[in-house]
Amino acid sequence: MRVLFIGDVVGGPGRHGLAATMPELRDRYAPDVVVVNGENSAGGMGITEKTAKAIFDAGADAITSGNHVYRHREAYDFLDRAERVVRPANYPHANPGRGYTVIEVDELRVGVINLSGAIGLKVARSPFIEVDNILEKIECDFSIVDFHAEVTSEKVAMGWHLDGRVAAVFGTHTHVPTADGRVLPQGTAFISDVGMTGSRTSVLGVKPELILEQLITQMPVKFETAEEDVWVMGAVVTVNDEGLADSIEQVMVPAQA
Ligand SMILES: [Fe+2]
Ligand SMILES: [Fe+2]
Q: What is the pLDDT of residue 130?
A: 98
Q: What is the pLDDT of residue 207?
A: 97
Q: Report residue 257's pLDDT band, with 50, 70 and 90 as the boundaries.
A: confident
Mean pLDDT of 128-138: 98
- CA of residue 223 to ligand 1 center, whole Å: 14
In angstroms, rounded to a whole number, what is the distance separating the alpha carbons of residues 238 and 125?
31
- CA of residue 129 to ligand 1 center, whole Å: 23
- CA of residue 69 to ligand 2 center, whole Å: 8
Handedness of CA 94, 126, 83, 174 (dihedral sign): positive
Q: What is the DSSP letter of 242?
A: T
Mean pLDDT of 183-188: 98
Q: Report residue 140's pLDDT band, with 50, 70 and 90 as the boundaries.
A: very high
Give the number of whichever ligand sits closest to the CA of residue 42. Answer: 1
Give the number of whichever ligand sits closest to the CA of residue 225. Answer: 1
- CA of residue 209 to ligand 1 center, whole Å: 19
User: What residues does the ion ligand 2 have nearby, CB within 5 Å?
Assistant: 66-67, 173
Q: What is the DSSP letter of 178?
A: -
Q: What percent of the chain has pLDDT over 70?
A: 100
Q: Which one, of 242, 55, 84, 256, lies nearest residue 167 by Cα?
A: 242
29 has a pLDDT exceeding 90: yes
187 has a pLDDT exceeding 90: yes
- Among the options 68, 72, 148, 175, which is catalytic? 68
| Helix H or strand E segment including 168 | strand 168-172
CB 52 within 8 A of CB 78: yes
In angstroms, rounded to a whole number, what is the distance separating the alpha carbons of residues 181 and 186?
15
69 has a pLDDT exceeding 90: yes
Mean pLDDT of 54-58: 98
- Specify whether 161 is catalytic: no
Average pLDDT along the chain:
98
Kindly list the strands in the beta sheet with 108-116, ordered across the sheet, starting from the edge strand earlier in the chain: 100-105, 108-116, 142-148, 168-172, 189-191, 182-183
Q: What is the pLDDT of residue 50?
A: 98
- CA of residue 39 to ligand 2 center, whole Å: 7
In angstroms, rounded to a whole number, what is the distance separating the alpha carbons of residues 48 and 200?
24
Q: Which one, of 19, 14, 35, lies nearest residue 86 by Cα?
A: 35
Q: What is the pLDDT of residue 11?
A: 98
Helices 127-137 and 152-162: angle between axes, nearest 10 degrees: 30
CB 41 within 8 A of CB 52: yes
Q: What is the pLDDT of residue 27?
A: 97
Q: How many CB atoms lie within 10 A of CB 220?
A: 6
pLDDT in tens, 89-126: 999 999 999 999 999 998 999 999 999 999 999 999 99
Q: What is the pLDDT of residue 158?
A: 98
* Backbone φ, ψ for residue 208 (5° rounding): -60, -40
State how far Cα 252 lies from the chain centre.
15
